[in-house]
């Protein structure tokens, strides 16, 4: 994968070379891991409330803890201000997105990886039209 930083450990050629920021971490799951999604602050636009819910259902929120909620509330309020047309706050919003791993750059800076989708058994089996369809897995 092109970009800044070292490759994830499974793609690294020199295994003894430990990256300064640590190894890549897959999310423990998808979505908020601490019960129901917290209520957003009062007075937000409908679009901001939808963003709050979407963020807490996304894979990167699996890295957040209940201690992060006060700062996440500040983030959604900045998001709401930008949605209302307060564009001087837009650069600050980008920085907050990076800080909380919501943007691709933020996830990369934190070494967060989207959890791998589980592979179903029927996806592993070759199809009838496959040139390898007649082969069996040796056990």
CA atoms of 16 and 6, how far apart (whole Å): 12
Asked if residue 10 is part of any domain, the answer here is: no
Asked if residue 79 is part of any domain, the answer here is: yes
Asked if residue 106 is part of any domain, the answer here is: yes
Asked if residue 11 is part of any domain, the answer here is: no
CA atoms of 38 and 52, how far apart (whole Å): 9
The pLDDT-based confidence of 135 (bands split at 50, 70, 90) is confident
pLDDT in tens, 39-68: 999 999 999 999 999 999 999 999 999 999
Question: How many domains are there within the chain?
Answer: 1
Asked if residue 52 is part of any domain, the answer here is: yes
The predicted structure's pLDDT at residue 127: 59
DSSP 7: P
The pLDDT-based confidence of 15 (bands split at 50, 70, 90) is low
DSSP 136: -
Instruction: Tell me if 60 sits within 8 A of 32, measured CB to CB.
Output: no
Residue 101 predicted with pLDDT over 80: yes
What does pTM read for this prediction?
A: 0.68
pLDDT in tens, 22-40: 777 777 788 899 999 999 9
pLDDT in tens, 106-119: 988 888 888 877 65
The predicted structure's pLDDT at residue 60: 92
Owning domain of residue 49: 42-115
Asked if residue 67 is part of any domain, the answer here is: yes
Three-state SS across 57-115? HCHHHHHCCHHHHHHHHHHHHHHHHHHCCCHHHHHHHHHHHHHCCCCHHHHHHHCEECC
Asked if residue 31 is part of any domain, the answer here is: no
Asked if residue 108 is part of any domain, the answer here is: yes
CA atoms of 98 and 23, how far apart (whole Å): 18
């Amino acid at each position: 994968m092109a970009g800044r930083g070292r490759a994830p450990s499974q793609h690294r050629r020199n295994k003894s070379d430990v990256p300064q920021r640590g190894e890549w971490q897959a999310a423990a799951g998808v979505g908020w891991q601490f019960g129901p999604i917290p209520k957003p602050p009062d007075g937000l636009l409908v679009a901001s409330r939808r963003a709050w819910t979407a963020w807490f259902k996304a894979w990167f929120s699996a890295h957040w803890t209940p201690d992060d909620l006060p700062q996440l509330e500040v983030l959604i309020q900045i998001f709401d201000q930008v949605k209302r047309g307060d564009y001087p706050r837009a650069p600050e919003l980008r920085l907050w997105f990076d800080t909380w791993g919501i943007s691709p750059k933020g996830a990369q800076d934190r070494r967060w990886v989207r959890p791998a989708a589980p592979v179903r058994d029927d996806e592993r089996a070759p199809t009838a039209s496959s040139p390898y369809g007649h082969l069996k897995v040796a056990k």
